Amino acid sequence: MPEAKARIAVLISGEGRNLQALIDACADGRIKGEIVVVLSNRAEAGGIARAQRAGIAVEVLSHRDYASREDFDAAMVARLAARRPDIVVLAGFMRILTPLFIAAFAGRVLNIHPSLLPRHPGLRTHEAVLAHGDAAHGATVHFVTEQLDGGAAIIQGQFMVRPHDTAQMLAARVMSEIELKIYPQAVAWMARGELALNGDGVILRGRRLAGPVGLEALEEGFR
């Protein structure tokens, strides 16, 4: 009997470029998993069409239909629990999750943030890089905890900021040069059972990381 594939749920709010990278990596076997549902809080999110083209089930839940963040998260938990996900991936999901949601999928929620965490948590990271004169910029895949963008970091990629880079140029570079490589890689590790959250630290292939690994850790198929 072949080993079961990991069941993956992806949460989106926008165009879904990271979602597409995950769809492609599942389709060609680089990720030993299956995306069982894509959930969006915005009916107009472009990523919905990407999921539909791939034959993936879609759930749309507008946060505006709920009286509180907790009520919205409880509704998401109910929808996702019915799909029995092993991994929950935030791919441009523009909502801060409550402790209720995080507890429901403890140790199984991944996020990608467009900065070299712990530097520049929150929004407008590309503008912050320019405002602070940072020499380097990039992205970080991390486990999601109750601390905003504060969960244990798994993998980071970075590049040098060029003198002529604008915020828009940095956003494009972070996506194409970093995010589309490191996010599928992290999900692939987790789908194979090689990645786990242990307390406040990361275990990768049986070793506790002292800090996030870099681009050199990418396997051939993700470079």
Return d(Cα 121, Cα 10) in angstroms, integer: 21
Q: What is the CATH number of the domain that holds 115?
A: 3.40.50.170
Place of tokens 């996702």: 80
pLDDT at residue 200 above 90?
A: no
The mean per-residue pLDDT over the stretch 197-208 comes to 94
Is pLDDT above 70 for 88? yes
Please indicate, yes or no, if residue 1 is contained in any of the structural domains.
no
User: Average of pLDDT values for 163-167?
Assistant: 97
**Sign of the CA dihedral with 106 first, then 108, 111, and 115 last:** positive
Residues 6 or more apart in contact with residue 4 via CB below 8 angstroms: none
pLDDT of residue 206: 96
Residue 99 covered by a domain: yes
Q: What pLDDT is stored for residue 127 in this prediction?
A: 98
Which residues are CB-contacts of 35 (< 8 A; sequence separation ≥ 6)?
8, 9, 10, 22, 23, 26, 51, 54, 56
| pLDDT of 5 over the 50 cut | yes
How many domains, the chain?
1
Q: Mean pLDDT across the stretch 185-194? A: 98
> Any idea which residues carry the catalytic annotation?
113
CA-nearest of 98, 38, 108 to 72 is: 98
181 CB-near residues (< 8 Å, 6+ apart): 157, 215, 218, 222, 223
CB 90 within 8 A of CB 14: no
Q: How do the residues of the chain divide into helix, strand and coil, expressed in percent and rounded to 5?
A: 35, 25, 40
Is 203 a domain residue? Answer: yes
For residue 97, tell me if it sits in a domain.
Answer: yes
Residue 58 sits in which domain range?
A: 6-222
Residue 128 is assigned to a structural domain of this protein = yes
Name the one residue in this structure whose structure tokens are 């990645």: 195
CA 205/CA 22 separation, integer angstroms = 21
DSSP H/E element including 111: strand 109-113
Is 19 part of a structural domain of the chain?
yes
Q: Angle at Cα 80 formed by Cα 79 and Cα 83, nearest 5°?
A: 105
Distances from the Cα of 34 to the Cα of 1, 60, 72, 119, angstroms: 17, 19, 25, 33
Place 1 in a pLDDT band, splitting at 50, 70 and 90: very low
pLDDT in tens, 99-154: 999 999 999 999 999 999 999 999 999 999 999 999 999 999 999 998 888 899 99
Q: Are 15 and 173 in contact (CB under 8 A)?
A: no
pLDDT tens digits along 53-68: 999 999 999 999 999 9
The band of 2, judged by pLDDT with boundaries at 50, 70 and 90, is: low
